[in-house]
């Protein structure tokens, strides 16, 4: 009746193994009977809830009509009944009809919160260099956990690796002294290297020329290319956008191609890319 990937159907043969499994991962057991539809509904609720915990809890179901001897070992007096096992011992339970909220409230006392699970997953994405995927989740969590240095440092890493240097610098400035660990120092060093590389004599000369000749499209394009090569991405995109607003086919489409190449390199989940992609498409279409 149940997908084995979602739940384990308890019987005499696997009972001991499942209880032993709770030494590593908590196990919630749902006692039910096929003649009582309300007990099957509790199983379905638990399947959905357990799936949301991403492997932090295991669901086992025991059909008390099919396995009366096993049910008798637990001393179940009424159905539906659920029991949570940790370290081989029952730690919580509930008898009678249940709602999704009541089941979640019971589990929340013993398992990581959804926010903690989301943070664990996002940090794993950062470790796997999936910066664009992790960043929006970390932003959402940062709003819920005020001044959490673990979240803020992970966000700063994502921002640095996706060329959002100004925001990364502002975020790193908020890290309190006691949390300025080796990871913090490594991110600061990476930011400083970027600053040194992005302020070359060539770039400074082009900036001076553009200040003197603000309408010179060739200088603006050359400076945008230089900016893009040293990861001053937003400045490059801003210059290219201004250029395209004046001349959509500048240099036989070179400006348009350069801007699209930068946006493609940033990726779909990048906030800067999303901002400038919308503006570019508005010009083109």
* CATH number of the domain bearing residue 87: 3.40.30.10
By residue range, what is the domain housing residue 278?
201-284
**Together in a domain, 96 and 20:** yes
Task: Report the distance separating Cα 255 and Cα 247, nearest Å.
Answer: 9
**Together in a domain, 73 and 25:** yes
pLDDT confidence of residue 231: 84
Q: What CATH number is associated with residue 267?
A: 1.25.40.10
268 pLDDT more than 80: no
pLDDT confidence of residue 41: 94
Total domains in the chain come to 3
Q: Share the mean pLDDT of the chain.
A: 91
- Of all helices (H) and strands (E), which one includes residue 93? strand 89-95
**Together in a domain, 97 and 164:** no
pLDDT confidence of residue 55: 87
**Together in a domain, 100 and 118:** no
Q: Which residue, of 93, 108, 123, is where some domain finishes?
A: 108
5 pLDDT more than 70: no
Q: What are phi and psi of 68, to 5 degrees?
A: -65, -35
Asked whether residue 153 is assigned to any structural domain, the reply reads: yes
Task: Label each residue of 167-229 as H, E or C.
Answer: HHHHHHCCCCHHHCCHHHHHHHHHHHHHHHHCCCHHHHHHHHHHHHCCCCHHHHHHHHHHHHH
Q: Which residue, of 108, 138, 158, is where some domain finishes?
A: 108
Strand partners of residue 8: 60
Closest CA to 73 of 130, 117, 18, 141: 18
DSSP string for residues in 23-92: TTS-EEEEEE-TT-HHHHHHHHHHHHHHHHTTTSSEEEEEETTT-HHHHHHHT--SSSEEEEEETTEEEE
Task: Report the distance separating Cα 269 and Cα 248, nearest Å.
Answer: 26
74 pLDDT more than 70: yes
**Together in a domain, 101 and 16:** yes
**Together in a domain, 77 and 133:** no
| 184 in Cβ contact with 168 (< 8 Å) | no
Cis peptide before 250 (omega within 30 of 0): no
Asked whether residue 2 is assigned to any structural domain, the reply reads: no
Asked whether residue 54 is assigned to any structural domain, the reply reads: yes
**Together in a domain, 213 and 232:** yes
pLDDT confidence of residue 7: 85
**Segment 151-175, tens digit of pLDDT:** 999 999 999 998 889 899 999 999 9
Asked whether residue 1 is assigned to any structural domain, the reply reads: no
**Segment 89-115, tens digit of pLDDT:** 999 999 999 999 999 999 999 998 888
**Segment 12-34, tens digit of pLDDT:** 999 999 999 999 999 999 999 99
Q: Which residue, of 51, 85, 108, is where some domain finishes?
A: 108
- The CA–CA distances, whole Å, from 3 to 32, 49, 53, 60, 61 equal 16, 15, 17, 11, 11
**Segment 188-247, tens digit of pLDDT:** 998 998 888 788 889 999 999 999 999 999 999 999 999 988 888 899 999 999 999 999
Least confident of 120-124, 174-178, 192-196, 274-278: 192-196
């Amino acid at each position: 009746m149940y997908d084995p990937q979602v739940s384990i159907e308890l019987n005499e043969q696997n009972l001991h193994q499942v209880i032993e499994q709770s030494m590593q991962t908590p196990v919630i057991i749902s006692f039910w009977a096929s003649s009582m539809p309300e007990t099957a509904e509790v199983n379905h609720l638990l399947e959905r809830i357990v799936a949301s915990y991403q492997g932090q809890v295991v669901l086992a179901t025991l059909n008390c009509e099919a396995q009366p001897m096993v049910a008798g070992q637990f001393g179940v007096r009424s159905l539906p009944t659920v029991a949570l096992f940790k370290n081989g011992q029952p730690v919580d339970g509930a008898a009678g009809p249940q709602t999704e909220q009541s089941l979640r409230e019971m589990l929340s006392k013993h398992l990581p919160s959804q926010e903690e699970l989301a943070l664990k997953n996002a940090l794993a994405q950062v470790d796997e260099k999936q910066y664009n995927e992790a960043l929006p989740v970390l932003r959402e969590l940062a709003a819920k956990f005020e001044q959490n240095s673990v979240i803020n440092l992970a966000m700063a890493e994502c921002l640095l690796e996706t060329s959002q240097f100004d925001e990364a610098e502002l975020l790193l400035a908020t890290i309190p002294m006691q949390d300025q660990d080796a990871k913090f120092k490594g991110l600061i060093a990476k930011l400083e290297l970027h600053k040194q590389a992005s302020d070359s004599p060539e770039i400074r000369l082009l900036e001076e020329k553009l200040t003197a000749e603000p309408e010179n499209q060739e200088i603006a394009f050359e400076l945008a290319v230089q900016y893009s090569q040293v990861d001053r991405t937003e400045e490059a995109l801003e210059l290219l956008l201004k250029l395209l607003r004046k001349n959509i086919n500048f240099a036989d489409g070179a400006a348009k191609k350069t801007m699209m190449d930068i946006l493609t390199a940033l990726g779909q989940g990048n906030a800067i890319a999303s901002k400038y992609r919308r503006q570019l498409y508005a010009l083109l279409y």
